[in-house]
Amino acid sequence: MADTAVRTLAVAAPRAHGSAGRRARTVLLHVVVIAGALAMLVPFVWTVVVSITPGATLTSTPELIPSDASLGAYGRLFAERPFGQVVLNSLMLAVATTLAQLVTSSTAAYAFSRLPFRGSGVVFGVYLATMMIPLQVLIVPLFVELKSFGLIDTYLGALLPSIASAFGIFLLRQAINQVPRELDEAATLDGAGHLRIFASVILPNIGPAIATLTVFAFMNSWNSFLWPLIVLRSPELQTLPIALAGLQGQYTSDWDVIMAGSVVSILPMLALYIFAQRYVIQGVASSGIK
């Protein structure tokens, strides 16, 4: 009892003493973080400004509020191409990639974290190694391979090479490593097998990592350019980044339309992030680790 009282006193004293200083620090922190955020926003402000400036140029400083502001570029973006189809294609591919990566990453991560076997470290090393060679050099052999599978110009051909990602496996492995083993052991005593431990103990406890992977898997698919460009042929299969690249002509480019395309392509990602962020916080709150 006495011990606790001493501690309480020791804690209470500096708190009272430092409350003004702490207040100042909090204000300073707000100022710095908000100023940083504003600086981060500059490139976007410029992107948006260019997108609403008809005939915008990239070389002269744009007016912050263009005198002839217009949403015409957005209109042209949606009118000039089968834009709805393009967005739908990108969405489908991104959703499929994300779902596939969630499955392949979580199962592999569980194996590497919770199922010890001989050579586990080496196999994990091989997994990581798949991230270490640049895509640019794999394009040609991969293309030849998919041709032999008959998958050129199909969604499957665009999707398959990215259904497993060492990045996702590594991310989830780190998260599972942080889940206390006592939880597994308790479930094992209750007679749970690995599938049940995986599904009802591990997964609910790595909510933040799952949400993070969801955002990154979706984003990588949504923004991927080189592979879909090479493997998808038909105009009706086109994805958003390729359609946007098509707006840059050989000699001249309509920068307002290009930047409008950039703004439009950011929106779904932003929505997903906001959604996932809420989930991250909920995931932690309900995880029961604390």
Partner 1 sequence: MNRTLAVGAGIGAVVALALTGCAASGTPADDPDEKVTITYSNFISNGGNEDNLATIVDAFEKENPTITVDVKTLPYDSYGTALDTDLAAGTAADVFDINGPSAYGQYQANGVLAPLDGVDASLYSPSLLSSYATDGTQYALPTSFSDVVLFYNKALFDKAGLDYPTADWTWTDETAAAEKLTDQAAGVWGDHQPVTYNEFYKVLVQNGASFLSPDGKSVAFNTPAGLEAANWLVQKSGTTMPTIEDGQGTADFDTNLFKDGKLAMLHTGIWMFGAFADDADDWDIAVEPGNTQHANAVFSNAIGVSATSKHPEAAQKWAEFMSSSDTMVDVRLDSGWELPPIADSAKLATYLDKGKPENRQAVFDAAKEIAPAPSIGDNQSEMQDDITNELIEAQAGRETVQQALDNAEKKINALLQG
Partner 2 sequence: MTVVGIRPRPPAGRRLRYALVVLAFLLPSAVPLALFVLAPMVGAAWISLTRWNLLAPARFIGLDNYVALLTDPTTGDVFLHTLSYVAGYLPIVYVVGLALALALNTALKGRGLLRGIYFLPVVTSWIAVAIVWRWLLSPKSGVVNSVLGFFGIDGPGWWTDPHWAMPSIILASAWKDVGFVMVILLAGLQAIPTDLHDAARVDGAGWWRRLFSVTLPLLSPSTFFVIVISLINGFQVFDQVYAMTGGGPNGASEVVVQQIYDLTFRYGRAGEASALSWLLFVVVLAVTLIQVRGQRRWVVYG
Does residue 66 bind partner 1 (CB under 8 A)?
no
SS3 content of the chain, % helix, strand, coil (to 5): 75, 0, 25
Return the number of the residue (43 or 119) whose C-beta is nearest partner 1. 119
Among residues 21, 84, 116, 119, which is the contact residue for partner 1, using CB under 8 A?
119
Binders of partner 2 among residues 35 to 54 (CB under 8 A) are: 36-37, 40-44, 46-47
C-alpha distance from residue 224 to each of 75, 244, 251 (Å): 25, 12, 25
Does residue 234 bind partner 1 (CB under 8 A)?
yes
For residue 66, the 8-state DSSP code is -
Binders of partner 1 among residues 122 to 181 (CB under 8 A) are: 123, 126, 139-141, 143-145, 147-148, 152
Residues near 230 by beta carbon (within 8 Å), at least 6 away in sequence: 139, 143
Return the number of the residue (67 or 148) whose C-beta is nearest partner 1. 148
- The nearest distance, CB 236 to partner 2, in angstroms, is 22
Does residue 194 bind partner 2 (CB under 8 A)?
yes
Q: Considering CB distances under 5 to 8 angstroms, the limit depending on partner class, which of partner 1, partner 2, none binds residue 220? A: none
| Residue 53 · residue 59 · CB < 8 Å | no
Whole-angstrom distance, CA of residue 26 vs CA of residue 200: 40
Q: Considering CB distances under 5 to 8 angstroms, the limit depending on partner class, which of partner 2, partner 1, none binds residue 119? A: partner 1
Number of residues that bind partner 2 (CB under 8 A): 99
For residue 201, the 8-state DSSP code is I
Does residue 237 bind partner 2 (CB under 8 A)?
no
Does residue 251 bind partner 2 (CB under 8 A)?
no
- The nearest distance, CB 107 to partner 1, in angstroms, is 14
Number of residues that bind partner 1 (CB under 8 A): 33
- The nearest distance, CB 153 to partner 1, in angstroms, is 9
Give the binding range for partner 2 (CB under 8 A) out of 66-74, 75-83, 89-97, 204-212: 204-212
Does residue 248 bind partner 1 (CB under 8 A)?
yes
Return the number of the residue (192 or 230) whose C-beta is nearest partner 1. 230
Which of 138, 141, 197, 203 is closest to 175 using CA atoms? 203
Whole-angstrom distance, CA of residue 36 vs CA of residue 167: 29
Tokens of 54: 């008809």
Residues near 105 by beta carbon (within 8 Å), at least 6 away in sequence: 164, 165, 168, 169, 171, 172, 213
Does residue 286 bind partner 2 (CB under 8 A)?
no
C-alpha distance from residue 271 to each of 48, 194, 218, 249, 261 (Å): 17, 35, 12, 30, 16
Does residue 269 bind partner 1 (CB under 8 A)?
no
Binders of partner 2 among residues 102 to 121 (CB under 8 A) are: 103-105, 107-108, 110-111, 115-117, 120
C-beta neighbour count of 290 within 10 angstroms = 5
Does residue 246 bind partner 1 (CB under 8 A)?
yes
